[in-house]
Amino acid sequence: MENKIYSEGVISRLSQYLKYVVQLKELGKRTVTSKEISENTKINSAEVRRDLIYFNIRGKRGVGFNVDDLISSFNKILGYEKQVRIILIGAGNLGKAILNYRMLNKFGFNIENVFDNDPKIVGKVISNHEVLDISRLKDIVREKDINIAILAVTPGSAQKVTDMLVDAGIKVIINYTPVPIKAPPTVNVQTTDPIEKLLHTLYYLSHTGYFEYSKKP
């Protein structure tokens, strides 16, 4: 089962399940039922049960599923068993909000570096991250072998920065700008909920060799 590539629908649902149960863990809950998962993810209860049965995830009658066991199972299926490094482009108000979004770390997504082109911002420390000049983007991405970037720049800069990310070898772009961006088919562009999409795309990164991708010299 580990080497099988599942459909977009399956991975989307699993990502939503994982997001929900991690939030439950944060609240101190130890068990959850398939009905609760269904109600909070808005996914049909029969679909939830089918997915859990298909992946041989079993609970206890009258108790439900252990939250820690669910998290471990979903992580394993998604190929999400290690810290994932990300870069953030844009340290304005939106970028600051993303840096302060603690749930990223709860899911194991670590913002490694932050970049901007505003001389008034470059060099400042925001949420324990020094803002680096965007001119250093390519070298740092390749040096650290980073595959995922969050785009939080102004609409007018979005495509130019996207081109820089593609040239640096980024494989997944989470687009927080209000404009569409163009990228080659080899680059996965996501524009909705960041946690769900990071979990979703991580599955494909880990199962299609992106993490072993040898970048251009």
Render pLDDT for 133-189 as a digit per residue (tens, 0 to 9): 999 999 999 999 999 999 999 999 999 999 999 999 999 999 988 889 999 999 999
Tell me the domain boundaries of the chain.
Answer: 8-77, 84-212
User: Which CATH architecture is the domain 8-77 placed in?
Assistant: Orthogonal Bundle (1.10)
Render pLDDT for 100-136 as a digit per residue (tens, 0 to 9): 877 777 777 889 999 999 999 999 999 999 999 999 9
Report how far residue 152's alpha carbon sits from residue 173's, in angstroms, rounded to the nearest whole number. 10
The CATH label, of 3.40.50.720, 3.40.50.620, 3.40.50.11540, 1.10.600.10, for the domain at 84-212 is 3.40.50.720
Lowest-pLDDT choice from 67-71, 103-107, 208-212 = 208-212
- The residue count of the chain comes to 217
Mean pLDDT score across all residues of the chain = 86
Residues linked to residue 209 through DSSP beta bridges, in sequence order: none
